[in-house]
Amino acid sequence: MLKLHFAPNSRAERILWLLEELELPYELNEMAFHPSDLKSDEHRARHPLGRIPVLDDGDIQIWESGAITEYIIEKYKNGGLKPDVQSELFPQYLQWFHYCEGMIMPPMNTIVVHTVLLPPDRRADIMLGHSCYMSNRMGCVTDEMKNIKAYVERLSSRPAFLKMTEHRPS
Ligand SMILES: N[C@@H](CCC(=O)N[C@@H](CS)C(=O)NCC(=O)O)C(=O)O
């Protein structure tokens, strides 16, 4: 029986979705998306970094959502749910498959860490934030750059930022 080590709102949902799509029987180890579960000795024994998803298949244990996806598709769908290796679509399939972890998820991770995971006092983006602030001040942030404008607005209204500006000559 396949066993998925899982927490909600994480990449482990990819595997749960896949298992459901393929109508495969599975067991779920539901953990909290919290260090108390993910960084426990028990889970670190499954994954040295305490990450999810992890899949058990009998004596086999595998992590990395892309690797797990390929493993399940190859082993239980005989390569189905993806183009045949001879198909002209196969390179496209591979390209987009790897684009997800290679290109989409790294900036997504930064956003999640700095908006959800870190406590507020650890989210202060001094180096980049001040660079954005100065760029805006020098007129380099144009009106179309709405997100940067709003970011500068939020950073420069922080009490600590305002305190710093008190040291400017008037
Ligand atoms: N490239 C890995 C990333 C695994 C990963 O970072 N998972 C996140 C959840 S989406 C996690 O376990 N985070 C917990 C932590 O960083 O402490 C994969 O695709 O499985």
Per residue of the chain (170 residues), what is the pLDDT tens digit? 999 999 999 999 999 999 999 999 999 999 999 999 999 999 999 999 999 999 999 999 999 999 999 999 999 998 889 999 999 999 999 999 999 999 999 999 988 888 888 888 887 888 989 999 999 999 999 999 999 999 999 999 999 999 999 998 88
Q: What is the DSSP string of 92-104?
A: HHHHHHHHIIIII
The number of folded domains in the chain is 2
Residue 148 lies in a domain: yes
Residue 97 lies in a domain: no
Amino acid at site 63? W
Q: Tell me which of 36, 51, 69, 98 to substitute to probe ligand 1's pocket, judged by most ligand atoms within 8 Å of the beta carbon.
A: 51
Residue 9 lies in a domain: yes
Report the 10 Å Cβ neighbour count for 166.
7
Contact (CB, 8 A) for 59 and 52: no
Tokens read off for 141: 């942030």
Residue 50 lies in a domain: yes
Look at residue 155 in the predicted model and tell me its pLDDT.
Answer: 92
Look at residue 162 in the predicted model and tell me its pLDDT.
Answer: 94
Which atom of ligand 1 lies at the shortest distance from residue 9's CA? 10
User: Which residue range forms the structural domain that includes residue 42?
Assistant: 2-77
The Å distance, Cα 38 to ligand 1 centre, comes to: 10
Residue 30 lies in a domain: yes
Residue 22 CA to residue 76 CA, distance in Å, equals 9
The Å distance, Cα 169 to ligand 1 centre, comes to: 47
| 7 and 64 part of one domain | yes
| 73 and 12 part of one domain | yes
Tokens read off for 19: 């298992």
Ligand 1: which residue has its CA nearest to atom 9? 10
| 10 and 71 part of one domain | yes
Which atom of ligand 1 lies at the shortest distance from residue 52's CA? 12
Is the CB of 101 inside a 6 Å radius of any atom of ligand 1? yes
Residue 57 lies in a domain: yes
Residue 95 lies in a domain: no
Look at residue 74 in the predicted model and tell me its pLDDT.
Answer: 94
Q: Long-range contacts made by residues 54-62, C-beta under 8 angstroms, separation at least 24?
A: 54/4, 54/5, 55/2, 55/3, 55/4, 55/5, 55/15, 56/2, 56/3, 56/5, 57/2, 57/3
